[in-house]
Structure 1
Amino acid sequence: MKCDSHIHIYARAFLKPGDAQVFVENADVDAYRKVQARIGTERAVIVTPRVYGTDNAVTVDAIRQLGIDNARGVAVLNPDVTDAELDALDKGGIRGIRFTLYTAKNAAVGFDMVEPLARRVAELGWHVQLHWTAEQIVEHEALLQRLPATMVFDHRARLPLQDGVRHAAFDIVRDLADAGRAWIKLSGPYLDSAAGLDGAYADIAPMARAWVQAVPERLVWGSDWPHVTEKHKPDDVFLLDLLAEWADDEATREHILVTNPAVLYGFAI
């Protein structure tokens, strides 16, 4: 069963007063089911969007609607989360926590929270998902080496176009993946592309192929639906088709879409 390993769900029922200005319409579970039907995936990993801060109710509810056998979630938490809350989230299908720190503007958490929270969630078998810039990965290499939890690097580890795989972050993340401590998401090509949608994000392909060549057994794919950052939304079928350009053999794509996410997120194989 194929897995879309990075999506966001938005539902007005879980909004707090003042949050509506960054709310995304037509991005609830029913809308995503239509995406699944188009791209042929059966499993999904829902990542709590920043509009909800550290309230993960929308994600747990989406897992319930999609069915815990085929859905998992990644939460956003502060260190004051209680053990009882962690247990409830675990029962609800949460399998990781995200640190979106690539820009202070979008950060609901801080670098000082990474290690203490990683130690707590490691006991549950969860991972820490890191949306960091490549420069931040290099700056915090010592922290990464200390973390007891598995790491998942968002959006190809955000390698910059001008450096690509020559950036020091590539070797850091690859070594962690080789050691069985890290995974990389092949997602969000538009986040770092200068070619853009009109250019089919072609300038991202060399970096994506480099990850496929280096650590194919430690990669998962995500659509990043509903593409919140993009004024002109890419077609999700097109985004999945890009994977065939990055990984040109069916066996590797099967690992990225089926086997790898099953291992990472605890789906039945």
Structure 2
Amino acid sequence: EIDRLTRGGIVAQRIFQLPWGAIGFDRMHEVMSQVHPFGWHANLQLDGRELPQREDTIKRLPGKFVIDHIGKYLEPVTAEQEAFKALLRLLDTGRCWVKLSAPYETSKTGAPKYEDVSRLARALVKHAPERMLWASNWPHPSAPKDSVPDDADLLDLLLDWAPDEATRKKILVENPAGLYDF
């Protein structure tokens, strides 16, 4: 089955450590040991405030891993807090990427700039531009129906997070090409 999925273009296993997730951290190593030989990476979504407690477990994963939504800190953190520093340490392994996506999911300051989450995005881009990916998170499954974000506005945030063109090219073109091998 994994071979068939791989031939069909599947490249990652989602590990969703939130109450409604299908595969949690308790099964992460078991699942990843099955799919890693096929070249898959782990796509992790969790409350980023848990990163200090999960850091060693995540580092023991085979292969590459991607952390969703700028770390997805369900309550705001600053770049000086341990939860954010844990994310930087994971990036420093050289096997971690972070998706610059869905700031609306965790921001308390809100649109259009999502300044609380944007501060973290800028710090991540500065720390490891070669490990950043951009994603729209379309169709925005967790956004309230009356305030679904505009994808063009979300892409415009990248102009603030990565103000120079060379860095944006890494985030939008080079980094995904390297991670996804295309």
* Structure 2 length-normalised TM: 0.92
Which structure 2 residues correspond to residues 66-145 of structure 1 after superposition, within 5 A?
Answer: 85-101=1-17, 103-104=18-19, 106-145=20-59
In the aligned structure 2, how far is the partner of 1:112 from the partner of 1:202? 34
In the aligned structure 1, how far is the partner of 2:83 from the partner of 2:103? 17
- 1:173/1:182 contact within 8 Å kept: no
Tell me: CA distance 1:172–1:240, structure 2 relative to 1, closer, same or farther (3 Å).
same
How far off its partner does 1:150 sit? 0.9
Q: CA RMSD, aligned part only?
A: 1.5
Which structure 2 residues correspond to residues 203-214 of structure 1 after superposition, within 5 A?
Answer: 203-214=116-127
> Whose relative contact order is higher, 1 or 2, with alpha carbons under 8 Å and at least 6 apart?
1
**1:67 corresponds to:** none
Tell me: CA distance 1:248–1:134, structure 2 relative to 1, closer, same or farther (3 Å).
same
**1:195 corresponds to:** 109
In the aligned structure 1, how far is the partner of 2:4 from the partner of 2:179? 20
How far off its partner does 1:161 sit? 5.5
In the aligned structure 1, how far is the partner of 2:75 from the partner of 2:50? 16
For 1:264, what is the secondary structure of its paired residue? helix
AA of the residue aligned to 2:50: Q
* Between 109-118 and 205-214, the greater mean CA deviation after superposition: 109-118
How far off its partner does 1:190 sit? 0.3
- 1:182/1:218 contact within 8 Å kept: yes
**2:143 corresponds to:** 230
Which structure 2 residues correspond to residues 18-37 of structure 1 after superposition, within 5 A?
Answer: none
In the aligned structure 2, how far is the partner of 1:222 from the partner of 1:263? 15
**2:69 corresponds to:** 155
* Aligned: 1:262 with 2:163: no
Q: Percent identity?
A: 42
For 2:142, what is the secondary structure of its paired residue? coil
For 2:163, what is the secondary structure of its paired residue? coil
In the aligned structure 2, how far is the partner of 1:88 from the partner of 1:229? 30
How far off its partner does 1:160 sit? 5.3
* Structure 1 length-normalised TM: 0.64
How far off its partner does 1:200 sit? 3.0
**1:69 corresponds to:** none
How far off its partner does 1:117 sit? 1.3
In the comparison of the two structures, how many residue pairs are matched? 180
1:175-218 per-residue CA deviation (whole Å, 9 max, x = no partner) reads 22222110000000001111223x43222211110000001000
- 2:69/2:100 contact within 8 Å kept: yes
For 1:170, which of 65, 84, 92 is the aligned residue?
84
5+ residue gaps, structure 2, are none
For 1:247, which of 159, 162, 178 is the aligned residue?
162
Which structure 2 residues correspond to residues 49-64 of structure 1 after superposition, within 5 A?
Answer: none
For 1:118, what is the secondary structure of its paired residue? helix
- 1:161/1:203 contact within 8 Å kept: no
How far off its partner does 1:118 sit? 1.4
1:150-186 per-residue CA deviation (whole Å, 9 max, x = no partner) reads 1100001123564222232322222222221100000
